């Protein structure tokens, strides 16, 4: 049992014995005592003051005395207003450390056969362009969140919906036909998703040129868009696609196959995988059928032009288009069909969509429409809304070709990690193959950590130079500390040091602080799962390695002559390294054994 759970249980027993109050242990969440006060853990006693009919300070005194008398782990206490600061007996921390050391899955909860089944949708790319920096934040958040939810004891299904149809796809297809002379990834010498992305940019370039020419002839911008033959051709291609035109479908399949191969290579380098991939081309008809069914039932309506809409004004929203006047569908219709297929495929207890905050309205609408269409789970869908990521130079625009390509960014990060490691002399005794392997781990770790350490709900600016720094709140700093611990333990083994009985050692203050920080890990994982926040794990890892570096500075290991004290410090180092490795793995980040 962790120290937090032990104190929660003891306080629950105390308020029952003193005031006959039934307080579930899980409702009592001790926090680390603030540094300006004496103590290790703090519990608020305000909730019990009213029932006890006493001032909070008096209640704190009574609970504190009860704990000292009845819980061996509690050595002393003090009360500051309604806060009970609890001092844990120094000798008790040995048992905490031993318990952590003996638990090979410290901080993780194995899911059971009947654990809740949570589906997490993330990535959701379009097949008209390669993955870019914006996708990276989405993918890393979704993958990490999946890891964290599994670590909290849930069964997790990771899904992806590929947006492989629609007007944007037709733009790339039309551009390839007209301006790319039959180019393939092989003849062009680039990844397939990059080739298709170049087609998308080319369409936008020609479309803007056409609009400028029409406006020069006296048309207004709106009139020019209406008169555009290029856009009309793209819309016609979409209609042909939906009608199953063999030539259009063959072109679509060929270009999408190029993109899928490119996506797979990018996902592989990121260390990301999916349990199930859905395709809009295979779900939109289900969505269209459900919309027409809703039309027949009178929960949707048709306008004079033949388009189908949902009236959401009673819910404080507006009218939402679901089927266009030409019979083609919109994203919302596809999402309805995908949701239906998912709940047909899996007995999902919770559905989480990892999608940027610019789609908040979309998911409000989706939830309401699913509910109206008779899906009982409609209102329980979770939109994990995250903020946008930008560069110091500003926003990115894929149709203008100004995005930061994910493949290029990953390659640049790994290259920068290699250069920096060499410059700092951290690779002097390593072969080129080892340096390359470490550069991959460190470069990808720097990228992932920087994108995940920020509260996901906030917008952020990604700074590549700052992310690769070996100092501060960065992935490389944490990875280097891990490698440093492993180096110390290897040197201990080389000198013949083994772990002996350390149960009689009274840990010093610095050791107690580190043990307590390690003891916090399970509650941090649980909190990250409740809050859908990988940032809590990232910043815990950073605080843990900072604490270890202070411990390492103040408490000698290799030069310690007392076998028992050295053994405690060796175990403390090993457990810290293991916990860092586990925390970083939840973020999808590897750590190098040497660096």
Q: Model confidence over 397-436: pLDDT tens digits? A: 444 445 788 999 999 999 999 988 888 777 777 888 989 9
Query: Residues 38-47: what's their mean pLDDT?
Result: 94
**Full domain range(s) for residue 264:** 165-274
Same domain, 169 and 65: no
CA–CA distance, 301 with 317 (Å, rounded to integer):
16
Q: Does any domain span residue 125?
A: no
CA–CA distance, 290 with 307 (Å, rounded to integer):
15
CA–CA distance, 460 with 282 (Å, rounded to integer):
35
CA–CA distance, 437 with 426 (Å, rounded to integer):
13
Is the pLDDT at 1 greater than 80, yes or no? no
Q: Does any domain span residue 194?
A: yes
For 525-539, b/e burial (b = at least 16 CB within 10 A) is bbbbbeebbbbbbbb
CA–CA distance, 231 with 233 (Å, rounded to integer):
5
CA–CA distance, 325 with 556 (Å, rounded to integer):
76
539, 472 Cβ separation under 8 angstroms: no
Considering the chain, what percentage of its residues have pLDDT values greater than 70?
Answer: 98
Same domain, 171 and 39: no
Which tokens is 539 given? 């910043």
Q: Does any domain span residue 464?
A: yes
The last residue of one of the domains, among 40, 70, 89, is: 89
CA–CA distance, 338 with 224 (Å, rounded to integer):
36
Same domain, 427 and 571: yes
* 266-290 pLDDT tens trace: 999 999 999 999 999 999 999 999 9
Q: Does any domain span residue 285?
A: no
When pLDDT is cut at 50, 70 and 90, the band that residue 396 belongs to is: very low
Is the pLDDT at 253 greater than 70, yes or no? yes
The last residue of one of the domains, among 274, 298, 329, is: 274
Which tokens is 520 given? 């916090």
CA–CA distance, 125 with 144 (Å, rounded to integer):
18
CA–CA distance, 195 with 384 (Å, rounded to integer):
32
Same domain, 82 and 170: no
* Beta-strand runs (E) in 418-498: 460-461
Q: Does any domain span residue 422?
A: yes
Which tokens is 369 given? 């429409």
pLDDT for res 379: 84
Query: Residues 222-236: what's their mean pLDDT?
Result: 96
* 94-130 pLDDT tens trace: 889 999 999 999 999 999 999 999 999 999 999 999 9
Same domain, 445 and 581: yes
Residue 324: left (phi > 0), alpha (psi -120 to 50), or beta? beta
* 134-172 pLDDT tens trace: 899 999 999 999 999 999 999 999 999 999 988 999 999
Same domain, 454 and 562: yes
Same domain, 42 and 181: no
Q: Does any domain span residue 27?
A: yes
For 218-236, b/e burial (b = at least 16 CB within 10 A) is eeeeeebeeebebbeebbe
Same domain, 415 and 561: yes
CATH number, domain containing residue 75: 3.30.1360.70
CA–CA distance, 454 with 164 (Å, rounded to integer):
31
Is the pLDDT at 395 greater than 60, yes or no? no
* 76-97 pLDDT tens trace: 999 999 999 999 998 899 889 9
pLDDT for res 394: 52
Q: What's the mean per-residue pLDDT of the chain?
A: 93
Q: Give 524 or 328, the one with higher predicted confidence.
A: 524
Same domain, 419 and 508: yes
Q: pTM, whole model, 2 decimals?
A: 0.91
Burial-class residue 594 by CB neighbours within 10 Å (0-12, 13-18, 19+).
middle
The last residue of one of the domains, among 44, 70, 89, is: 89
Considering the chain, what percentage of its residues have pLDDT values greater than 90?
Answer: 85
When pLDDT is cut at 50, 70 and 90, the band that residue 465 belongs to is: confident
CATH number, domain containing residue 545: 1.10.730.10
Same domain, 456 and 553: yes
User: Considering only CA atoms, which of 170, 173, 165 is closest in space to residue 334?
Assistant: 165
Same domain, 24 and 169: no
H helix and E strand count, the chain: 22, 14
Number of domains in the chain: 3
Q: Does any domain span residue 456?
A: yes
Query: Residues 250-273: what's their mean pLDDT?
Result: 97
Which tokens is 304 given? 């004079």
Same domain, 71 and 169: no
pLDDT for res 393: 66
What are 368-373's contacts with CB under 8 Å, separation 24+? 368/310, 368/312, 368/315, 368/317, 369/294, 369/310, 369/312, 369/320, 369/322, 369/332, 369/336, 370/336, 370/339, 372/294, 372/299, 372/300, 372/310, 373/290, 373/291, 373/293, 373/294, 373/299, 373/336
CA–CA distance, 44 with 66 (Å, rounded to integer):
15
Q: Does any domain span residue 66?
A: yes
User: Considering only CA atoms, which of 125, 34, 40 is closest in space to residue 81?
Assistant: 34
* Beta-strand runs (E) in 89-169: 117-121, 155-162
Three-state DSSP at 224 gives: helix
């Amino acid at each position: 049992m962790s120290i937090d759970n032990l104190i929660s249980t003891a306080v629950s027993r105390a308020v029952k014995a003193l005031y006959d109050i039934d307080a579930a242990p899980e409702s009592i969440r001790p926090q680390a005592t603030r540094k300006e006060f004496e103590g290790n853990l703090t519990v608020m006693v305000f909730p019990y003051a009213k029932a006890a009919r006493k001032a909070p300070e008096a209640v704190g005194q009574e609970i504190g005395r009860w704990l000292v008398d009845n819980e061996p782990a509690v050595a002393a206490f003090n009360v500051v207003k309604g806060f009970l600061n609890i001092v844990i007996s120094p000798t008790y921390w040995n048992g905490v450390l031993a318990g952590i050391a003996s638990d090979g899955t410290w901080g993780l909860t194995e899911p059971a056969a009947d654990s809740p089944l949570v589906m997490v949708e993330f990535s959701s790319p379009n097949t008209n362009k390669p993955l870019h920096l914006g996708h990276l934040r989405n993918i890393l958040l979704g993958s990490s969140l999946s890891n964290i939810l599994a670590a909290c004891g849930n069964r997790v299904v990771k899904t992806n919906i590929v947006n492989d149809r629609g007007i944007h796809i037709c733009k790339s297809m039309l551009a390839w036909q007209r301006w790319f002379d039959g180019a393939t990834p092989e003849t062009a010498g680039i990844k397939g998703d990059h080739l298709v992305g170049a087609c998308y940019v080319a369409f936008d370039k020609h479309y803007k040129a056409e609009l400028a020419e029409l406006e020069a002839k006296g048309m207004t911008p709106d009139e020019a868009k209406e008169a555009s033959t290029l856009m009309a051709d793209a819309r016609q291609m979409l209609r042909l696609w939906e009608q199953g035109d063999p030539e259009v479908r063959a072109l679509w399949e060929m270009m999408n196959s190029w993109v899928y191969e490119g996506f797979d290579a990018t996902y592989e380098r990121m260390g990301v995988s999916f349990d199930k991939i859905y395709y809009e081309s295979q779900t939109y008809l289900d969505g269209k059928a459900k919309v027409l069914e809703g039309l027949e039932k009178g929960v949707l309506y048709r306008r004079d032009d033949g388009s189908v809409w949902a009236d959401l004004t009673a819910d404080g929203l507006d009218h939402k288009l679901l089927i266009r006047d030409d019979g083609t569908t919109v994203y919302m219709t596809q999402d309805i069909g995908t949701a239906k297929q998912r709940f047909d495929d899996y007995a999902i207890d919770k559905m989480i969509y990892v999608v940027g905050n610019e789609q908040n309205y979309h998911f409000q609408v989706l939830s309401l429409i699913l509910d109206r269409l008779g899906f009982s789970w409609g209102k329980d869908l979770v939109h994990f809304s995250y903020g946008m990521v930008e560069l110091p130079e500003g926003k990115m625009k894929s149709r203008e070709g100004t995005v930061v390509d994910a493949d290029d960014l990953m390659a640049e990060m790994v290259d920068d990690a290699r250069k920096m490691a060499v410059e700092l002399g951290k690779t002097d005794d390593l072969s080129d193959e080892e340096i390359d392997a470490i550069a991959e781990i460190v470069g990808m770790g720097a990228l992932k950590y920087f994108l995940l350490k920020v509260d996901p709900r906030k917008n952020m600016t990604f700074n590549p130079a700052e992310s690769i720094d070996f100092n501060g709140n960065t992935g490389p700093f944490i990875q280097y500390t891990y490698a440093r611990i492993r180096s110390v333990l290897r040197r201990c083994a080389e000198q013949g040091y083994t772990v002996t009985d350390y149960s009689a050692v009274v840990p010093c203050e610095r050791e107690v602080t580190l043990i307590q920080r390690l003891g916090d890990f399970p509650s941090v994982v649980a909190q990250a799962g409740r809050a859908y926040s990988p940032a809590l794990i990232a910043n815990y890892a950073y605080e843990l390695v900072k604490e270890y570096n202070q411990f390492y500075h103040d408490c000698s290991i290799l030069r310690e002559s007392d076998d028992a004290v050295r053994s405690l410090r060796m175990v403390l180092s090993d457990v810290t390294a293991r916990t860092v490795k586990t925390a970083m793995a939840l973020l999808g980040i590897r750590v190098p054994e040497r660096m």
